[in-house]
């Protein structure tokens, strides 16, 4: 498979009054054409910041302070504003967490599709843009007549489908989905994931699925990246991560999932709290919460072990 995206040693900082928040620190990530990568971790671990960095959508005072983001070999970090504008939506699209706040409440759905198309495809006739929007809604399982409605007239699931449609209307290579099922109930969430999986095959999409929901990742992802404290803890094939998690943090995440068979004596929880990213712990950022902590964990960054595509940053595997 061709490599579509490669992130090398990426660091993103937010200078604030009390110091500098190291939201992303030294992250490496690769995405191959046509795969789904699940990016998981607790709230505040840096996964959404990483997603926004790919499209240079960081809000001030956030800034990329180091590293490269290579899209088909071109470094997004060093692109000019005009190049970035042509990339957003056209080659890399993003689905945001809350579709109600992402869609413009003052415009009908058809206008939002048409505006997207005309912005990126100069000379396209409005009639052709409308026809393409109709076709997209049909692919999404929505009646084309609903193009004439406003966002508030649709359910949460339909609004999320509209967001997918706006992301796909320009036939991008890469789709970044940032917590796309947060506002959906369980039934609609399952339908949404089935739809996303079908669209992946139909459009040969590469997807970066950012979520804290491990069930969603199990259903869709080919590979999983686990983030903790702004850094990568573990990367591997989805099956390997679920069947043989190596990093103590990954093990803790999987152990804390409630057992639907209800045969576990009590709910397993992970001790401690996520790290303060203004003053992160020395050495391994996870060591204050880890039951396997050694002296070296408190002073030195973890050793990286890699075998058969399964990478883990932990001193236990040196």
Q: What is the pLDDT of residues 191-223, one digit of tens each?
A: 878 888 888 888 888 999 999 888 889 989 999
pLDDT digits (tens, 9 = 90+) for 4-51: 999 999 999 999 999 999 999 999 999 999 999 999 999 899 999 999
- Range from 56-60, 94-98, 224-228, 237-241 carrying the lowest mean pLDDT: 94-98
Confidence (pTM): 0.92
Q: DSSP per residue over 243-262, as a string?
A: HS--SHHHHHHHHTS--TT-
- Range from 52-56, 184-188, 220-224 carrying the lowest mean pLDDT: 184-188
Quick one: pLDDT at residue 309? 86
For residue 141, pLDDT beyond 90: no
In the structure, what pLDDT confidence band is assigned to residue 181 with cuts at 50, 70 and 90? confident
Architecture of domain 3-91+172-258+268-317: 3-Layer(aba) Sandwich (3.40)
Quick one: pLDDT at residue 262? 58
């Amino acid at each position: 498979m061709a490599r579509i995206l490669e992130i090398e040693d990426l660091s993103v900082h937010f200078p604030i009054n009390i110091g500098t928040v190291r939201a992303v620190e030294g992250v490496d990530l690769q995405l191959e054409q046509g795969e789904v990568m699940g990016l998981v971790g607790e709230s505040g671990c840096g996964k959404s910041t990483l997603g926004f960095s790919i499209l240079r959508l960081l809000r001030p005072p956030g800034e990329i302070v180091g590293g490269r983001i290579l899209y088909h070999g071109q470094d997004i970090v060093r692109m000019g504003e005009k190049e970035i504008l042509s990339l957003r939506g056209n080659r890399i699209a993003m689905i945001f967490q809350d579709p109600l706040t992402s869609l413009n409440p003052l415009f009908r759905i058809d206008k939002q599709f048409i505006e997207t198309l005309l912005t990126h495809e100069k000379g396209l006739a409005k009639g052709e843009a409308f026809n393409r929007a109709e076709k997209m809604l049909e692919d999404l399982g929505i009646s084309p007549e609903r193009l004439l409605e406003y966002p508030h007239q649709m359910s949460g699931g339909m609004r999320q489908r509209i967001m997918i449609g706006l992301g796909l209307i320009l036939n991008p290579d890469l789709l970044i989905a940032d917590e796309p099922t947060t506002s959906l109930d369980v039934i609609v969430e399952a339908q949404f994931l089935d739809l996303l999986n079908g669209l992946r095959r139909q459009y040969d999409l590469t997807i970066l699925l950012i979520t804290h929901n491990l069930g969603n990742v199990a259903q869709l992802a080919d590979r999983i990246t686990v983030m903790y404290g702004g850094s990568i803890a573990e990367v591997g094939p989805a099956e390997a991560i679920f069947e043989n998690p190596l990093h103590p943090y990954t093990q803790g995440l999987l152990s804390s999932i409630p057992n639907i068979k209800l045969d576990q004596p009590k709910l397993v929880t992970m001790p401690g709290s996520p790290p303060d990213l203004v003053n992160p712990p020395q050495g391994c950022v996870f060591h204050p919460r880890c039951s396997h902590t050694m002296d070296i964990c408190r002073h030195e960054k973890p050793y990286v072990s890699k075998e058969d595509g399964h990478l883990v940053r932990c001193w236990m595997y040196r």
